Amino acid sequence: MRPKSFYQSFTWVGIMLLAMGCIFLAIGIGMQLAPMSPEDINYYHNGIRQASTEATLRSFRLIFLLCFGLIGAVLAAVGGTMLVRWSLRRKRNQRLKQEGTRITAVVNDYTPSSVRVNHRYMTRLNCAYNTPGGKTYIFKSGYLRVDPVPYLHEGEVTVYYERNNMKNYFVDVDGSIGLGLRVVEL
């Protein structure tokens, strides 16, 4: 059993788009390498079969490559971009956990965001930190799958932020689960 993650993960979407893009590109390139002759192209105009030439075959291959290749390239680019952004965000969060300043913020509320997935609003955890000087900083977590508030110790969550830039922060909901409480996913 592995520890439960409260964060919503969309990496499967990036993997699926990248795989679909690669399949479309493979079909487009495979059609360029498939053995064909002009007799294999059946082109009819007003019910009469037209004679095919090498130019017709080249045009057919080019149109096929453009259709499948362009769709495949767009799908692969979008999927690859999603995976790269996810990887960079994960590395940034790990770096903030190792090198950033750690504070404990009080949970204000667990609210829906403006993002909808499958007719359901994604949810976030809003928390606040009051400095000794009287300033209040508000932090938002990433998108969450379930409400983590019952599992948090005294309604507090750990926040890591960059020393020189308070806007670069990470709300560690998974690491803030109550003292000795182990939540596992079955």
User: Would you call 38 helix, strand, or coil by DSSP?
Assistant: helix
Query: Per the structure, how many domains does the chain have?
Result: 2
Q: Check whether residue 120 and residue 92 sit in a common domain.
A: no
Question: Which of 96, 120, 139 is the C-terminal boundary of a domain?
Answer: 96
Predicted confidence at residue 88, as pLDDT, reads 95
Q: Check whether residue 48 and residue 65 sit in a common domain.
A: yes
Residues ≥6 apart with Cβ < 8 Å to 88: none
Q: Check whether residue 141 and residue 154 sit in a common domain.
A: yes
Q: Which of 4-18, 43-57, 72-86, 119-133 has the highest mean pLDDT?
A: 72-86
Place of tokens 């977590």: 141
How are the residues of the chain apportioned to helix, strand and coil, as percentages rounded to the nearest 5?
45, 30, 25
Q: Check whether residue 79 and residue 156 sit in a common domain.
A: no
Question: Which of 96, 112, 143 is the C-terminal boundary of a domain?
Answer: 96
Q: Check whether residue 69 and residue 115 sit in a common domain.
A: no
Among 21-25, 143-147, 176-180, the minimum mean pLDDT is found in 176-180
The band of 137, judged by pLDDT with boundaries at 50, 70 and 90, is: very high
Predicted confidence at residue 177, as pLDDT, reads 78
Q: Check whether residue 106 and residue 92 sit in a common domain.
A: no
Q: Check whether residue 121 and residue 165 sit in a common domain.
A: yes
Domain range spanning residue 180? 100-185
Q: Check whether residue 108 and residue 177 sit in a common domain.
A: yes
Angle at 104 between CA 100 and CA 106, to 5 degrees: 140
- The CA-atom distances, in angstroms, between 8 and each of 39, 59, 130, 145, 158 are 54, 46, 28, 5, 18
DSSP class per residue in 55-91: HHHHHHHHHHHHHHHHHHHHHHHHHHHHHHHHHHHHH
Q: Directed axis angle between helix 54-99 and helix 11-33, to 10°?
A: 160
Q: Check whether residue 162 and residue 121 sit in a common domain.
A: yes
What is this structure's pTM? 0.76
Q: Check whether residue 92 and residue 109 sit in a common domain.
A: no
The pLDDT tens digits for 28-67 are 999 888 888 877 777 777 888 777 788 888 888 899 899 9
Q: Check whether residue 33 and residue 51 sit in a common domain.
A: yes
1: pLDDT strictly greater than 90? no
Contact indicator for 49, 39 with CB cutoff of 8 Å? no
Distance CA 159, CA 156 (A): 10
Q: Check whether residue 87 and residue 12 sit in a common domain.
A: yes
Question: Which of 73, 96, 119 is the C-terminal boundary of a domain?
Answer: 96
Predicted confidence at residue 4, as pLDDT, reads 66
Predicted confidence at residue 165, as pLDDT, reads 87
